[in-house]
Amino acid sequence: MTTKTISHWVDGKSFVGTSTKTAPVTNPATGEVTAQVALASVEDTRAAIDAAAAAFPAWRDTSLAKRVQILFKFRELLNERKPELAKIITSEHGKVLDDALGEVTRGQEVVEFACGIPHLLKGGMTENASTKVDVFSIRQPIGPVAAISPFNFPAMVPMWFFPIAIATGNTVVLKPSEKDPSAAIWMAELWAEAGLPAGVFNVLQGDKTSVDELLTNSGIKAISFVGSTPIAQYVYNTGTAHGKRVQALGGAKNHMVVLPDADLDLAADAAVNAGFGSAGERCMAISALVAVGGVGDELVAKINERAKTIKTGDGTKGCDMGPLVTKQHRDKVASYVDAGEADGATIALDGRQVQPDGGENGFWLGPTVIDNVTPDMSVYTDEIFGPVLSVLRVESYDDALELINSNPYGNGTAIFTNDGGAARRFQNEVEVGMVGINVPIPVPMAYYSFGGWKSSLFGDTHAHGAEGIHFFTRGKVITERWLDPSHGGLNLGFPQSHH
Ligand code: NAD
């Protein structure tokens, strides 16, 4: 029996709340329930929103110099202690330690980007737009904002948003996934240590009840959501209907095209890394490999050769690939492999038979390669979110492009080729937000923006980079004249600048 309960962080301290509802948190490598996470009631959610609202006026007026000092301190502490955070991620998510550390480092890059906020927030100024009339623009914070994040990146995805929201003068309520809730609390404690005033960063543990309150409560001015497509669509529709600014990033089905002239060893390495890294539980994972013009047999052979060497097991034991996040998710992913087989695809490598280096009750599924997949099969149409790589064979570049552009998702994609002209065509013609050329997981750097197209993102603003700054601020333009004796007296005409 476990008694540990993971609760909320509100107004600079741990907050138990009134709800008695909880959900189990498991270690996916052992199957053991390690804690219960509190699931916030509407009342608890309001307490977090109130704390963020109360902290907002003072934080928005805190100087950029002071904000930057706190951001730098947070970055230093994070950099120093990230192995602790990686361990927490591995214990609740299951991904191997190296990968967890990589996730934290990518999140840290957004913190580093946000440290440059004085430069990023500079407005424009025009002197003498009309005689002795000056015009200037500024960007101001929008108020308390909420971030709602998925299980697969419990540290990085929240860090796509909160460093920038905080740097631009907003206060934040983060609602992490109930499957791996501890990383958010660890980060909240780090903020407190870095000197962030109480109430600027709050963590609310919860499920749909708390999300619905965040979406409808007038105290929250903007929502950054990341998760599956149906929930992203719901969050976008509900949040915008309640007058909020919303960016809602959804699911994915990422294609990797291999042209006949590609270096097949490079392509095979890339397909294995991008297909099975983090057990395929990445929104940028490659799940559909598109072999063009007869390279299929050789490519699948090379992929199998490599995928067979992957050591699946407990993420703390130096394995290459960890378990899936829950038993339910593991079984769902395995059921797609069954469906692919029943639909007539070839199971070229079968992860259902894996012998893991981990607990007998862990949520294991080894690397799986399904060949001869066609676009009507559920292994292709659905986002599986597991270590399952489907291989589709097409005749030409045009067929590959048509396949990708008819897919409802448009998060990431990659092309492998040695032909610069073909790559140039692909980057121009493909209807996907993030494109890799001989790079299988083209996650943009913090100073660019992350976001997909079509059903992979609802809203019009991508995460971090310039678009992140824009999302968390409102523009204001000031037109200014200091009166002197030559002012024009009464004039009811529309202001124009012809003098
Ligand atoms: P999910 O949609 O189940 O959950 C995401 C968040 O929404 C969680 O905080 C969860 O508590 C909340 N939620 C779940 N059901 C809800 C409901 N009915 N009403 C209100 N809130 C609800 O997603 P997940 O399983 O945690 O994460 C995996 C998904 O996230 C995949 O589809 C993956 O592609 C996607 N993802 C996308 C990106 C991206 O950048 N586009 C990044 C990471 C993950």
**Distance between CA 158 and CA 233 in Å, rounded?**
19
The CATH architecture that domain 4-250+456-478 belongs to is 3-Layer(aba) Sandwich (3.40)
Helix spans in 382-430 (H): 397-406, 420-429
Catalytic residue among 164, 194, 232, 283: 283
391-435 pLDDT, tens digit each: 999 999 999 999 999 999 999 999 999 999 999 999 999 999 999
| Cβ atoms of 38 and 5 closer than 8 Å | yes
Which residues are CB-contacts of 333 (< 8 A; sequence separation ≥ 6)?
Answer: 280, 324, 365, 384, 385, 386, 387, 388
Whether residue 283 lies in the annotated active site: yes
Instruction: Judge if the beta carbon of residue 232 lies within 6 A of ligand 1.
Output: no
Pick the atom of ligand 1 nearest to 177's CA. 9
pLDDT of residue 491: 83
Instruction: Judge if the beta carbon of residue 12 lies within 6 A of ligand 1.
Output: no
CATH code given to domain 254-437: 3.40.309.10
Q: If you average pLDDT over residues 312-336, what whole number do you get?
A: 98
CA 408 to chain CA centroid, Å, is 19
Q: What spacing in Å lies between the alpha carbon of 78 and ligand 1's midpoint?
A: 25
pLDDT category of residue 293 using cuts at 50, 70 and 90: very high
The structural domains of the chain, with segments of one domain joined by +, span: 4-250+456-478, 254-437
Q: How far is CA 200 from CA 57, 85, 163, in A?
A: 10, 21, 11
Pick the atom of ligand 1 nearest to 385's CA. 31
Instruction: Judge if the beta carbon of residue 455 lies within 6 A of ligand 1.
Output: no
For the cut 70, the answer to whether the pLDDT of residue 462 exceeds it is yes
- The size of the chain, in residues, is 499
Residue bearing the CA closest to ligand 1, atom 24: 150
Instruction: Judge if the beta carbon of residue 177 lies within 6 A of ligand 1.
Output: yes
pLDDT of residue 487: 62
Q: To the nearest whole percent, how much of the chain has pLDDT over 90? A: 96
Q: How far is CA 104 from CA 81, 83, 121, 153, in A?
A: 10, 9, 25, 9
Mutating to test ligand 1, I would choose from 174, 226, 383 the residue with most ligand atoms within 8 A of its C-beta, which is 226
